[in-house]
Structure 1
Amino acid sequence: MNTYGTAEKPAEVVAVLTLRTVRTGCEERFEAELHDFIARSLHAEGQLGVHVLRPEPGTGSREYGIVRRFGTGECRDRFYASSLFRQWEAAVAPLTEGAPQRQEVSGLETWFTLPGHQALVPPPRWKMAVVTVLGVWPVSMLVPWLLNPFITNLSQLLQALAIAVGIVIVLTWAVMPVLARMLRPWLGHRPQR
């Protein structure tokens, strides 16, 4: 995964995930076009950065995920209506298969991307909330207990920061991936309508 741009996160951040499948043999040219487009587009109003999720080596997948963050919904709308974006669409159309799939995402949805699954469609929000509580509750008790001997001499503000950073690290790299794998059948189950 590559990350471009380093702006601060304002109160209303809009993140958009775009999925594109690159035609076989066009990967190198797509990469060049993508790199050029990102470099030109990061200066557009309201841009907060771009994350590129490349296909996992050895999987045979040719699906790219492009997560772009905007300061507001208006900035997002202006960007996708801009001539710069239309030029990019025209440049990569012959390099990709089908129409791009686009959806807004929140930060929590990335915890629920299951390993080995190409679909980046998150579970229902209520299921994400249940699993998040299952992860946050024990971690929010464990991390302060573990850090307490090291942070007692710090101000309350720095203690809170250290605990928040510890909780986020443990959730992101340990607890949430394990819970997502363990609860995969339940998370992915969609009731019949």
Structure 2
Amino acid sequence: MENVSQAKGAEPVAVLTLRTVKRGNEEKFEAALHDFISESLHSEGQLGVHVIRPPTGSDSREYGIVRRFISREARDNFYRSELFKKWEEKIAPMTEGSPVRQELTGLEAWFSLPGREATVTPPRWKMALATVVGVYPTSMLVPWLLQPLIGKLPPLLQAFFIAAGIVVILTWAVMPLLVKLLERWLLPREEA
């Protein structure tokens, strides 16, 4: 397995792949995805995988798979691998159309707008401003909420739990809500 320390000049890369699962194949796809992720995380150059499932109660059957690599070379090697080719063959009967794949940079992972093409993202300054609007109140709320639970822990552990709390709340609550509320502002009018 490759050392996770990066080669000089190499930067981590995140790739979002969108897949629409055929109706009635959701359980089979979930099982296949679980097995594939378990097997593929041992591939050289992997930094992790995050699965974005369709919202509960919605009619959407679109899955987002965000995979992080230590470099572009590791990304390319993975998508050319036999393991990945076998995965594509296995799920082809369970999915509709071709996958939509996009490289994510920085904040884009939080700003995929519902019902939009994966390639449509807001300008970076708008993403940064919206993120500040989400982070500011969250960074005040989380320490206040956690203090009674972690107040007697060493400062480094307190900082860890506060950071983890902020990330969890931003990822699953604050940013999805903000993106939905600010959708018309985030995208230029001709794209909205």
TM-score in terms of structure 2 length? 0.71
Aligned partner of residue 93 in structure 1, secondary structure: helix
Matched, 1:45 2:48: no
Identify the range of structure 1 (57-66 vs 121-130) with the bigger mean alpha-carbon deviation: 121-130
Q: CA deviation at 1:40?
A: 1.9
Query: Is the Cα contact below 8 Å between 2:14 and 2:69 reproduced in 1?
Result: yes
Q: In structure 1, how many angstroms separate the alpha carbons of the residues matched to 2:62 and 2:38?
A: 21
Aligned to 1:188: 187
Equivalent positions of 1:63-142 (< 5 A) are 63-114=62-113, 117-119=114-116, 120=118, 121-136=120-135, 142=140
Q: CA deviation at 1:187?
A: 0.7
Gaps of at least 5 residues in structure 1 are 1-7
Q: In structure 2, how many angstroms separate the alpha carbons of the residues matched to 1:86 and 1:100?
A: 13
2:186 maps to amino acid: L
Instruction: Report the count of equivalent residues.
Output: 181
Identify the range of structure 1 (175-184 vs 56-65) with the bigger mean alpha-carbon deviation: 175-184
Distance 1:186 1:162, change over 3 A: same
Q: CA deviation at 1:101?
A: 0.2
Identify the range of structure 1 (40-49 vs 22-31) with the bigger mean alpha-carbon deviation: 22-31
Gaps of at least 5 residues in structure 2 are none
1:48 maps to amino acid: L
Q: CA deviation at 1:13?
A: 2.1
Identify the range of structure 1 (130-139 vs 178-187) with the bigger mean alpha-carbon deviation: 130-139
Query: Is the Cα contact below 8 Å between 2:143 and 2:162 reproduced in 1?
Result: no
**Percent of pairs with identical residues:** 60
Q: In structure 2, how many angstroms separate the alpha carbons of the residues matched to 1:90 and 1:136?
A: 41
- What RMSD in Å do the two structures reach over aligned CA positions? 3.5
Equivalent positions of 1:51-62 (< 5 A) are 51-62=50-61
TM-score in terms of structure 1 length? 0.71
1:51 maps to amino acid: H
